Chain A
């Protein structure tokens, strides 16, 4: 194992000690990691060359599914996770059936349309969805045990961390698998895919459902940590934020999605705390700087540094972070 794999692992290991060393950061990191899972979904699609400006749809669907179930007697974290993920995957399949016929900007816009319709429904059907104020999601039991806030949040943190690592690993495996390889060919050469006798649509659909499920899992975790779900979960700015984080981390890089989400949430939290009036401006400038001066995102920067440190390793440059760190 080279040094370039060592540092990310060390960072993950350090995260394990956050609840003991910096309890103040625990909830922030729970949210950041949950978002990282959602961003992996967006990143996955980026690998097929598609950008969705509506993936907050699945984030929102699973969060609301969780909130609806939490209001019944089936109020258990495991059930919420299963039902929410299933809801996101199912709606991913339905929406996916339509959108996989499109590419590029149309793919993005159609996703946007679906998410905005869902958002409008959430806003409008007040008596079911709580309208703009959303629904409360009371703290669920965990396998039948009802926990106080402190142990529950601790558990949620480790659960989120475990899911981040597990799902990140799974997504990398997916991309490395034959289906995943075909999936990425949608970006590089779709026609060749068809010549091989493989349906580009079906291939894209598989990845799309997986990406919807990932967004969904992120949505449930954020909703559970927050204790509330609101239509803003499905608003276009949230979708934009996910794409933002994916690009910040390094478009197409799964570890980059995690790094991006952590960096984004921390910058955002501290900007909101110390520059309450201009946190958006701070983030905007941050994003511009990354795109203009480090288009490979955090993953790209890391690869570049790692390359400089180990000259003998002739692998990727800053401009192709996709192949890095797998």
Chain B
């Protein structure tokens, strides 16, 4: 009985949906946003959803996109494989989503990219970092509005080699999944290329969501590597840093936390001075080039007011996805002399698009649809201005120089770098 009722409802819904988007200028633009509402990665997903709701409200108050209001539906990436893809299709086929933002998990992005291509729906990979998507496949409908793992990791390596060049040994503690493995492969390949005498003395990949790192910490304390890298995030990172900090490991070794920006507030006073922090792009709530600009300050204040926390990189990535959307529609409408763009016109607009979120301007490469984004890296300091650590000795790396060139494989490209590359790259510094 239930089955047939639902069946009827679905038929009705799809009929309504297809009637609704037959006109030239639609009554509204529907966006399906995939984000983690459940599971460990909801530490990124939920703030990003809050940001999306805020952005849509502001956007519609300001008249929408060329007078067309925007409506968003959220899909939970945490619902798991089948439920996620089934819901993605439902959004596109039944709800008539005009454009999809998906998603956070690299695994989901790898899965969605060919699906979006087959469904012929524009898909913006608004957060995921795997470099593989565009290096292993070519897509017409898929774009990325931020950097990928290579830029994220290269900035960290360069910062380390510029600020603390004299070290011999390094160990890694990463989560055991694609991001943890891939980011270490890129980081270690780049590091060995630019500093051939470095020795890797420990590689730990504790299970994703591991509750305890005590054993790894004992092992590292006994090994005493000069540098310890972790690109973990969320609860895993917090646990690891708290335990390492409590047991003095943070004072023994130079820590690099690739995604540390997202945990600054959560770690509070547990994060000591002197830890190198990255933010997967130039994302930081006190971005030295953005603080003082009206839109940046008001966004940070509004976000803090609404959610009780400062924005983290996934929030900034969501902002970029929306800014790119606005810019792409504006460009497409202008190029089409005011005609409402179809998918092809919008794709043409996205290719080579330049837009600005709440950091430096981002360009989407026309050739492979990859976003070119600057990177911010800094060192922690507990100043007492906030109940958590903030960044000093900030460097901002230009996106162009540290992103894999079009058509090349990231690993091959970073392994071809030389020690001279460290001097060739000149980041912006702040005092």
Cα(A126)–Cα(B80), bound, Å:
20
Interface flags for B306-328 (1: CB within 8 Å of A; 0: not) read 00000000000000000000000
A263 within 8 A of B: yes
Interface positions of A from 14 to 50, Cβ below 8 Å from B: 21-25, 27-28, 31
Q: Which residues from A are CB-within-8-Å of B87?
A: 269, 272-273
A contact residues around B85 at 8 Å (CB): 27, 226-227
- B107-134 contacts to A, CB under 8 A, are 107, 110-111, 114-115, 118-119
Contact B107 A132 (CB under 8 A): yes
Most buried by A among B2, B7, B86, B205: B86
Pick from B2, B3, B11, B176: contact of A124, CB below 8 A: B176
Does A130 count as interface, using CB distance less than 8 angstroms? yes
Question: A204 contacts which chain B residues (CB < 8 A)?
Answer: none
Q: Does B74 contact A (CB under 8 A)?
A: yes
B298 shortest CB reach to chain A, Å? 29
Enumerate chain B residues within 8 angstroms of A132, measured Cβ to Cβ.
107, 176-178, 208
Complex CA gap A263/B5 in Å reads 12
Query: A63-91: contact bitstring with B at CB < 8 Å (1 yes, 0 no)?
Result: 00000000000000000000000000000
Residues of A within 8 A of B6 (CB): 266, 270
Q: Which residues of A contact B38 (CB under 8 A)?
A: 276-277
Contact of B111 among A227, A262, A279 (CB under 8 A): A227
- Whether A320 sits at the interface, judged by CB under 8 Å, is no
What residues of B have a CB within 8 angstroms of the CB of A273 in the complex? Answer: 87, 90
Kindly count the residue-residue contacts between A and B in the assembled complex, taking CB atoms under 8 Å apart. Answer: 104
Query: Counting CB contacts under 8 A, is B94 at the interface?
Result: yes
Query: What chain B residues lie within 8 Å of A263 (beta carbons)?
Result: 2-3
Compute how far the CA of A267 lies from the CA of B85 in the bound complex, rounded to whole angstroms: 16
Q: Would you call B107 and A262 a contact (CB within 8 A)?
A: no
* Chain B residues with CB below 8 A from A123, complex form: 176, 207-208
Enumerate A135-180 residues with CB–CB distance to B below 8 Å: 136, 138, 148-150
Q: Is the CB of B79 within 8 A of A27?
A: no
Cross-chain contact B14 with A133 (CB below 8 angstroms)? no
- A134 near B82 with CB under 8 A, answer no
**Closest CB of chain A to B141's CB: distance in Å?**
13
**Residue in A closest to B207 when the chains form the complex, CB atoms:** A123
Looking at the assembled complex, report how far the CB atom of B5 sits from the nearest CB atom of chain A, in whole angstroms: 10
Query: What is the CA–CA distance of A270 and B86 in the complex, to the nearest angstrom?
Result: 10
B106 within 8 A of A: yes
Shortest C-beta distance, A306 to chain B (Å), equals 14
Using Cβ atoms and an 8 Å threshold, which residues of chain B touch A224? Answer: none
Residues of A within 8 A of B11 (CB): 21-22
Q: Is A222 an interface residue (CB 8 A)?
A: yes
Q: Which parts of B61-119 form the interface with A (CB within 8 Å)?
A: 74-76, 79-83, 85-87, 89-90, 93-94, 105-107, 110-111, 114-115, 118-119
Q: Is A206 an interface residue (CB 8 A)?
A: no
Q: Give CA–CA (A131, B176) in the complex, Å.
A: 7
- What is the distance, in angstroms, from B236's C-beta to the closest C-beta of chain A? 12
* In the complex, chain A residues whose CB is within 8 Å of the CB of B107: 132-134, 228, 230
How distant is A209 from chain B, measured CB to nearest CB, in Å?
26
- Cβ-defined contact, B83 with A269, below 8 A: yes
Q: Which residue of A lies closest to B118 (CB)?
A: A149
- The answer to whether B80 and A232 have CB atoms under 8 Å apart is yes
Report B's interface with A, CB cutoff 8 A. 2-3, 6-7, 10-11, 13-14, 37-38, 74-76, 79-83, 85-87, 89-90, 93-94, 105-107, 110-111, 114-115, 118-119, 176-178, 181, 205, 207-208
Given A273-B87, A273-B90, 5 additional A-B pairs, CB 8 A: A27-B85, A133-B178, A263-B2, A263-B3, A267-B2
3 closest Cβ pairs, A-B complex: A132-B177, A133-B107, A149-B118
